[in-house]
Amino acid sequence: MPTVTLRFSPLAEHVRTARLVAVSVARRAGFGENQLDEIRIAIGEACARAVAGGTRTSAAPVGLVDMRLCDDQDRLDVTVVQCDAHGEPLPDTGSDLSETDSLSLALMAGMADTSEQTASADGVALSWTRQAVEGPGHYAH
C-alpha cells in the first residue's frame, strides 16, 4: 500500500498544501473528479482542526501536524495527528469536544465511508477511509 506522509508546521497556510497533496494521492488511487471536492473538504477540516489545536487545553502546544495518506486500488486512508516539535504525537488531554469540533467531525464523517477520532497515550488521531466509485469523471489508471 503506497503511503505519503506530510509533516508541517501548524500554520493555516499549510492546510492548502495538505489538500493539494491529498488530491494528488486521491487521483493516483483512482478517485474521479466528482469526488475530489469532498476529499479537499475533509482534508481541510482535519488539518484545520490539527492546526488550530483541536480540543487541546494542555500547556503542550502543537508543534507539527502529521498527515499520512495510504492509497490502495481505489481506496484512500487518511490519518491526521497533532505532534510536538519533535514529531511525537501529543497525548490526549481528555477534554470534551466543542460545538465547532463536533461540526467539523460530522462534516468529515459525511465525506468518508468510515471516520473516527481515536485517543490514546500516543495522541489523538483523526482517521477516515474513502472508496473511489466508478462513474463520470472516474480517473483511469
Domains with residue ranges and CATH for the chain = 3-131 (3.30.565.10)
pTM: 0.76
**How far apart, in whole angstroms, are the C-alpha atoms of residue 26 and residue 53?**
26
Q: What is the pLDDT of residues 94-137, one digit of tens each?
A: 554 454 567 767 777 777 777 777 766 656 677 778 888 765 44
Q: What is the pLDDT of residues 18-74, one digit of tens each?
A: 999 999 999 988 888 888 998 898 888 889 888 887 545 455 677 999 999 998 777
Q: Which residue has the cell 500554520?
A: 11
